[in-house]
Amino acid sequence: MTATDTVRPLTAAELAAVRADFPLLGRTVRGGRPLVYLDSAATSQKPNVVLEAEVDFYEQRNAAVHRGAHQVAEEATAAFEDARSAVASFVGAADDEIVWTPGATAAINLVAYALGNATAGRGGADAERFRLAPGDEIVVTEAEHHANLVPWQELCARTGAVLRWFGVDDDGRLDLSDVGSVITERTRVVAFGHVSNVTGAVAPVETLVAAAREVGAYTVLDACQSVPHLPVDLHALGVDFAAFSAHKMLGPTGVGALYGRRELLEALPPVTTGGSMVEVVTMTETTYMPPPQRFEAGTQMVAQAVGMGVAAQWLDELGMGRVAAHEREIAAELLKITEIPGIRVIGPSDDRDRIGVVSFVVDGVHAHDVSQVLDDRGIAVRVGHHCAQPLHRRFGVAATARASASVYTGVEDVVAFREALAGVRAFFGAE
Ligand code: PLP
């Protein structure tokens, strides 16, 4: 990425070329209407190169990785490990700091269960640093996706640790006005989302990492909504662990990654055990391989990992600075819905430190009804609590509708969305 990448959004011709690469964007819905896909925060569409990479893997290279002594197995292993390198370099990590997982949820659970195993005495002396005791504290935020909340609630229940959290202000940003009273000497883990999947707000990672470091707590970054939309350099951010999913970054479903700082992964006990992660097995005990293989028991999702690597390369070639610049423009277009009477955005209404994820409520109309009217016009948005019930409770709503962008979203998509949204209240007689 060059300095100009950070400022130059996509030209109309470049966007058209990008869109042409995504077959699904060309389809029609609901009686021939062109699809307006504004649900990329739930899952993104996939470019041809990703689809082709999976097919090519199965057609030409399909074999068990890390085991076979034949040519196809060697090629499969190379494709699998090359994909790991592509993903690692995409997020500023070393190859052996990337563990394949089925997704971000699995990655966060992996860390939480590994800490639990360390607390139960597994992992020997190396893992003692991870032990939790009753009264230790785990800090999260009120804005978390359930994937980065429930695993920590469970870990607290298993270890006697206590869960604490930062609230959010009326603008949907984390309230860090008194960081030092939440992150204290008792804090052992600080787990937080880089970007909220509801408000689109970017968290001040630097502040939270600095506060955690000061008290020797481990940081776990849920990077699910940042990696697909912003340049992310995990080494530069200084987090200890991070989780993200391929399917939100133009890659396949069923695969994601856990990033862990090398020295931490080396000391962490495994969670899922079995084949492919062991060195010596006797009838009574087993020694484990170093990371990342220690955390990759059983047959892996090889074709999907290969697809994730290609997705990372595709984004890298476009330049994440340019992706972010393009999506910033789309976010500004989305935020113009605040000009429609009766629309309330849940989250920052300015485009500073936020991405193109905009959740909203329509006065007098249930979110499900909003999405139905939009769907009738071919516009796909998400509706519900978006796996963030506490955040919705904070704003006094059970559900919101959410429009979310990706690199392939155009201004025309947003204009169609705004026009349809402007008619929703009248449709239900709610004006
Ligand atoms: N964290 C955030 C912020 C998300 O948006 C999501 C998915 O919606 C997840 C975690 C869970 O990701 P996955 O379902 O791919 O494991």
CATH of the domain at 323: 3.90.1150.10
Is the distance from the beta carbon of residue 224 to the nearest atom of ligand 1 less than 6 Å? Answer: yes
**Identity (one letter) of the amino acid at 141?**
T
Helix (H, G, I), strand (E, B) or coil at 431: coil
State both tokens at 268.
């962490």
Tell me which of 354, 387, 400 to substitute to probe ligand 1's pocket, judged by most ligand atoms within 8 Å of the beta carbon.
Answer: 387
Distance 105 CA to ligand 1 centre (A): 6
CATH value at residue 159: 3.40.640.10
Distance 143 CA to ligand 1 centre (A): 13
Q: Whose CA is nearest to atom 10 of ligand 1?
A: 147
CB 40 within 8 A of CB 224: no
**End-to-end C-alpha distance for the chain, whole angstroms:** 48
Residues in the chain: 431
Question: Cα separation of 84 and 121, whole Å?
Answer: 31
DSSP state, residue 251: S
Is the distance from the beta carbon of residue 40 to the nearest atom of ligand 1 less than 6 Å? Answer: no
The residue from 274, 297, 316 where one domain ends is 316
Question: Cα separation of 10 and 422, whole Å?
Answer: 28
pLDDT value of position 3:
45
Q: Whose CA is nearest to atom 5 of ligand 1?
A: 197
Residue 378 belongs to domain spanning: 3-45+319-427
Looking at the structure, tell me whether residues 341 and 295 fall in a common domain. no
pLDDT value of position 7:
67
CA-angle at 91, arms to 87 and 93, nearest 5°:
85
Question: Cα separation of 81 and 100, whole Å?
Answer: 10
Q: Which single residue is written with the structure tokens 């195993």?
A: 117
Distance 159 CA to ligand 1 centre (A): 25
Distance 357 CA to ligand 1 centre (A): 14
Looking at the structure, tell me whether residues 164 and 123 fall in a common domain. yes
Which residues are designated catalytic?
Answer: 387
Question: Cα separation of 421 and 158, whole Å?
Answer: 46
DSSP secondary structure string for all residues of 359-386 = EEEETTB-HHHHHHHHHHTTEE-EEE-T
Is the distance from the beta carbon of residue 44 to the nearest atom of ligand 1 less than 6 Å? Answer: no
Helix (H, G, I), strand (E, B) or coil at 218: strand
Total number of domains in the chain: 2
Looking at the structure, tell me whether residues 278 and 174 fall in a common domain. yes
Q: In angstroms, how far apart are the furthest CA atoms of the chain? A: 73
CB 391 within 8 A of CB 402: no
pLDDT value of position 350:
86
Distance 388 CA to ligand 1 centre (A): 10
The kind and range of the H/E element at 220 are strand 218-222
Looking at the structure, tell me whether residues 15 and 71 fall in a common domain. no
Is the distance from the beta carbon of residue 225 to the nearest atom of ligand 1 less than 6 Å? Answer: yes
186-230 pLDDT, tens per residue?
Answer: 999 999 999 999 999 999 999 999 999 999 999 999 999 999 999
φ, ψ of residue 411 to 5 degrees: the values are -60, -35
Q: Which single residue is written with the structure tokens 């790991």?
A: 84
Is the distance from the beta carbon of residue 147 to the nearest atom of ligand 1 less than 6 Å? Answer: yes
Question: Cα separation of 132 and 126, whole Å?
Answer: 14
Is the distance from the beta carbon of residue 105 to the nearest atom of ligand 1 less than 6 Å? Answer: yes
The sign one gets for the Cα dihedral 321, 419, 352, 347 is negative
Looking at the structure, tell me whether residues 376 and 247 fall in a common domain. no
- Please, which contacts does 57-60 make with residues 24 or more away whose CB atoms are closer than 8 Å? 57/302, 57/303, 57/306, 57/307, 58/303
Is the distance from the beta carbon of residue 242 to the nearest atom of ligand 1 less than 6 Å? Answer: no
CB 337 within 8 A of CB 421: yes
Q: Which atom of ligand 1 is closest in space to residue 386's alpha carbon?
A: 8
The residue from 316, 331, 347 where one domain ends is 316
**Identity (one letter) of the amino acid at 101?**
T
366-418 pLDDT, tens per residue?
Answer: 999 999 999 999 999 999 999 999 999 999 999 999 999 999 999 999 999 99
Distance 284 CA to ligand 1 centre (A): 38
Question: Cα separation of 386 and 370, whole Å?
Answer: 15
Looking at the structure, tell me whether residues 267 and 240 fall in a common domain. yes
Is the distance from the beta carbon of residue 103 to the nearest atom of ligand 1 less than 6 Å? Answer: yes
Looking at the structure, tell me whether residues 279 and 331 fall in a common domain. no
State both tokens at 345.
């955005």
Is the distance from the beta carbon of residue 258 to the nearest atom of ligand 1 less than 6 Å? Answer: no
Looking at the structure, tell me whether residues 353 and 222 fall in a common domain. no
The residue from 269, 297, 316 where one domain ends is 316
Question: Cα separation of 97 and 83, whole Å?
Answer: 13
Q: Which pTM was predicted?
A: 0.97
Looking at the structure, tell me whether residues 120 and 259 fall in a common domain. yes
Looking at the structure, tell me whether residues 95 and 147 fall in a common domain. yes
- Under-50 pLDDT residues of the chain: 1-5
The kind and range of the H/E element at 18 are helix 12-20
Q: Which atom of ligand 1 is closest in space to residue 256's alpha carbon?
A: 15
* Burial (Cβ within 10 Å: 0-12, 13-18, ≥19) of residue 181: exposed
Is the distance from the beta carbon of residue 221 to the nearest atom of ligand 1 less than 6 Å? Answer: no
* Burial (Cβ within 10 Å: 0-12, 13-18, ≥19) of residue 280: exposed
Q: Whose CA is nearest to atom 12 of ligand 1?
A: 104
Strands, DSSP E only, in 59-185? 98-101, 137-141, 162-166
Looking at the structure, tell me whether residues 89 and 146 fall in a common domain. yes
β-pairing, 382-384 vs 400-404, is antiparallel
Tell me which of 195, 197, 406 to substitute to probe ligand 1's pocket, judged by most ligand atoms within 8 Å of the beta carbon.
Answer: 197
Looking at the structure, tell me whether residues 312 and 323 fall in a common domain. no
pLDDT value of position 199:
98
Enumerate the H helices of 160-256 as residue ranges. 179-182, 205-214, 234-237
